[in-house]
């Protein structure tokens, strides 16, 4: 066994002992400042694939402090992301993110992490319709993104676009994929020009509108039925990204000196987020209990609520003409989400 093999072996054993010795919950912990934190895992010059709206340093963000905080679970060691190990483990496999632009945030983070780990490995990148695929031919690994903001279907009807809460034909694309990571929430509250549909259909009843959290839960239950009917746990691992929080209202973290995430350069280090549990996460947790097949929740909500400093703010694709306190800078918080994904994959 070479040096790389020994490193991988000890990463796995260290994590296994930490988790199984203390029944560790890797999602409970705190952000700690670490000046040497991977320097960071990559930087924007290492990864030409970062979308402009996530490329905060390229867009002029002057501070780097937000890149120097790592997630420290309370009772165990979170293994460092090892891209070569990841590629070896998933040789010949397909990994698909399904969701909205927060899925895109995490997908691009993983692409950057893997590209940094194997900078000389040849790759291919293509987008066909709503499906983007980044592949490493030497490993026969594909990292895919299926853009599907609601998981359920939207169809063009005679009188406009219809959001069908009980229909999930889009799921045909997900069948047989080795790892699925789902996400939905960001678009459910949009109205006006940002709203993606004109009507909502619930079973055989069509509404002009309805309570959005009710519609969200109904869609999640349709997704849960799809998982129960279509996933073979021996072939497919299923994850749900959890709900990524925004930081548009500083009352959520009781900062009278700010209104939004603009100007924030440090996380909440007290671990307190006074707004409490995210209401969409409460609904998601309830629905996940109804899924009979194994689904691993990437419980990113609480730890991300503490990262008011991690958003593009005025350094997104609109520059100073817009404020983005919803998405995340890359490198940044989604890299931790992928460390947690890596840890979960090691454990399973």
Q: Which residues pair with 69 in a beta bridge?
A: 33
Q: Which residues contact 81 (CB under 8 A, 6 or more apart)?
A: 41, 113, 335, 338, 339, 342
The burial of 159, by beta-carbon neighbours within 10 Å (0-12 exposed, 13-18 middle, 19 or more buried), is given as: exposed
Give the DSSP H/E element, type plus range, for residue 228. Answer: helix 212-230
DSSP string, 280-340: HHHHHHHHHTT--S-EEE---HHHHHT-TT-S-BTSSTTGGG--B-SS--SSSHHHHHHHH
> Which 8-state DSSP code applies to residue 201?
E
Label each residue of 45-101 as H, E or C. Answer: CCCCCCCHHHCCCCCCCCCCHHHHEEEEECCCCCCCCCHHHHHHHCCCCEEEEEECH
Q: Which residues are catalytic?
A: 101, 324, 327
Give how far Cα 56 sits from Cα of 14, 30, 62, 68, 328, Å: 34, 24, 9, 15, 9
Fill in the DSSP letter of residue 35.
Answer: T
- Distance between CA atoms of residues 291 and 308, nearest Å: 32
Q: Which tokens hold the place of 274? A: 């006074």
Residues 6+ apart with CB under 8 A from 204: none
CA distance 278 to 295: 20
CA–CA separation, 301 and 8 (whole Å): 29
């Amino acid at each position: 066994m070479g040096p790389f093999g020994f490193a991988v072996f000890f990463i796995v054993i260290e994590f296994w002992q930490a988790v199984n010795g203390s029944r560790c919950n890797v999602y409970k912990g705190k952000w700690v400042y670490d000046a040497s934190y991977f320097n960071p895992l990559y930087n924007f010059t290492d990864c030409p694939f970062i979308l402009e709206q996530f490329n905060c340093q390229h867009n002029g963000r002057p501070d780097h402090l937000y890149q120097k905080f790592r997630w420290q679970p309370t009772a165990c060691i979170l293994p460092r992301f090892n891209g070569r190990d990841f590629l070896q483990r998933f040789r010949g496999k397909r990994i698909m993110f399904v969701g909205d632009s927060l899925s895109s945030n995490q997908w691009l983070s993983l692409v950057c992490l893997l590209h940094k780990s194997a900078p000389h490995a040849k790759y291919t990148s293509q987008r066909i319709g709503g499906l983007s695929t980044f592949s490493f031919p030497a490993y026969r690994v594909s990292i895919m993104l299926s853009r599907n903001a609601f998981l359920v279907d939207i169809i063009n009807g005679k009188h406009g676009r219809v959001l069908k809460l009980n229909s999930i034909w889009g799921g045909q694309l997900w069948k047989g994929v080795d790892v699925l990571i789902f996400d939905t929430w960001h678009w459910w509250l949009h109205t006006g020009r940002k709203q993606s549909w004109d009507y909502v259909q619930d079973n055989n009843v069509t509404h002009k509108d309805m309570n959005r959290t009710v519609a969200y839960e109904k869609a999640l239950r349709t997704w849960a039925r799809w998982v129960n009917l279509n996933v073979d746990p021996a072939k497919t691992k299923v994850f749900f990204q959890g709900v990524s929080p925004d930081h548009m209202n500083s009352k959520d973290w009781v900062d009278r000196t700010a209104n939004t995430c603009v100007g924030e350069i440090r996380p909440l280090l007290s671990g307190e987020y006074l707004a409490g549990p995210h209401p969409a996460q409460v609904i998601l947790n309830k629905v996940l209990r109804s899924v009979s097949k194994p689904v691993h929740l990437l419980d990113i909500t609480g730890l991300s609520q503490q990262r008011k400093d991690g958003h593009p703010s005025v350094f997104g694709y609109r520059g100073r003409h817009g404020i983005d306190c919803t998405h995340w800078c890359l490198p940044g918080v989604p890299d931790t989400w992928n460390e947690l994904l890596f840890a979960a994959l090691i454990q399973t």
